[in-house]
Copies of this chain bind each other. A is one copy, B any other.
Amino acid sequence: MSVALGELAVRFGCELRGDPDVRVESVASLGSAQPGTLSFLANPKLAPQLEQTRASAVVLDARSAERSPVPVLISSNPHALFARIALVLHPEAPLHPGIHPTAVVDPRADIDPTAEIGAHAVIGAGVRIGPRSLVGPASLLGVGVRLGADCRLVARVTLGERVQLGDRVLIHPGAVLGADGFGYAREGVSWLKVPQIGTVRVGDDVEIGANTTIDRGALDETRIGRGTKLDNLIHIGHNCSIGRDVVIAAQTGISGSSAVGDGAILGGQVGMGDHAMVGPGVILGGQAGILPKKKLLGPGIVFWGTPAKPVRQYLKELAMLARLKR
């Protein structure tokens, strides 16, 4: 499929500098772009690449537009505009509604006829799946699971008993939602398992990365708020409450009963102890460690180190340490 630049400018309400009849059919990075592709400037450092690009057009902000040798779609948020156009040029593969003959589906499941259930999927009793949702191959849905509309479990996703997903939830292969939380009562030298009977509730527009695990609540729910994005290999313990529009990078671990406020940004390999709290809008540097029960507050404030402290203080301490006399 190809689209004319003029059509894109109208559709997305942006300014076009150049020939509206030029057509693009795919997106590409500046460096590897060929004629027929649309590119964008991800990073001001790449401006020299812009001047030599073979792309048919680029998405830029107004300031960079003057340096472009090819037609430009101008946006105050070029990354977002590029993302929207990329989705037009590279739409998701179309669904094949229906249930693959190798899937094992409990007769008490309620599956919208517009949904697709892939090969070797296993769907338990009482499961409800909304319109246009995809349950990819080899996914396992426990008893009572609910999916809203337009969800996409890419492949090999495991959802335990009664896990609930909103609409447009996207989950990558190997993710496990709703496994037992890590709860034991001490008895002498040994550990007695505390039954885990809660579940996991995930809001609309959440994305969950490959091999990430989110444990079911011990008694209540573990919650992931609307619009939140989780990278790969993340661990979220039982009873956690993650807010809306939170971004968490890969391999971060959040211990049980902890909370993360709306709009917080957590770097990779961050560790939060149990019953800790990261307030709305807080930013945590990679590998930061938060002690159990600790609260970190302040939108826009960056914390780093273990135990985490405001980044300026942490950097000062590192600098002092490096200056100590030998």
Contact = CB atoms under 8 A, between A and B. Distances in A.
Interface of A: 26-29, 31-32, 77, 79-80, 82-84, 86-87, 90, 93, 100, 102, 104, 118-120, 122, 137-138, 140, 143, 154-156, 158, 160, 170, 172-174, 176, 179-180, 182, 184-187, 189-195, 197, 205, 207, 209-211, 213, 215, 218-220, 227, 229, 231-233, 235, 237, 245, 247, 249-251, 253, 255, 262-263, 267-269, 271, 273, 286-287, 289, 305-307, 313, 316-318, 320-322, 324-326
A269 B268 contact: no
B250 A79 contact: no
A87 to B, nearest CB: 5
Given A122-B138, A192-B84, A286-B289, A172 B176 contact: yes
A79 to B, nearest CB: 4
Contact of A211 (B32, B213, B219): B213
Majority DSSP secondary structure for residues of A touching B: loop
Contacts of A156: 140, 156, 158
Contacts of A122: 118-120, 137-138
Contacts of A316: 326
Contacts of A219: 27-29, 32
26 contacts: A32-B219, A77-B185, A80-B192, A90-B197, A102-B102, A120-B120, A137-B140, A138-B138, A154-B179, A155-B158, A156-B156, A160-B173, A173-B176, A176-B210, A180-B207, A182-B232, A210-B215, A213-B250, A235-B251, A249-B255, A251-B271, A267-B273, A268-B271, A286-B306, A305-B306, A317-B321
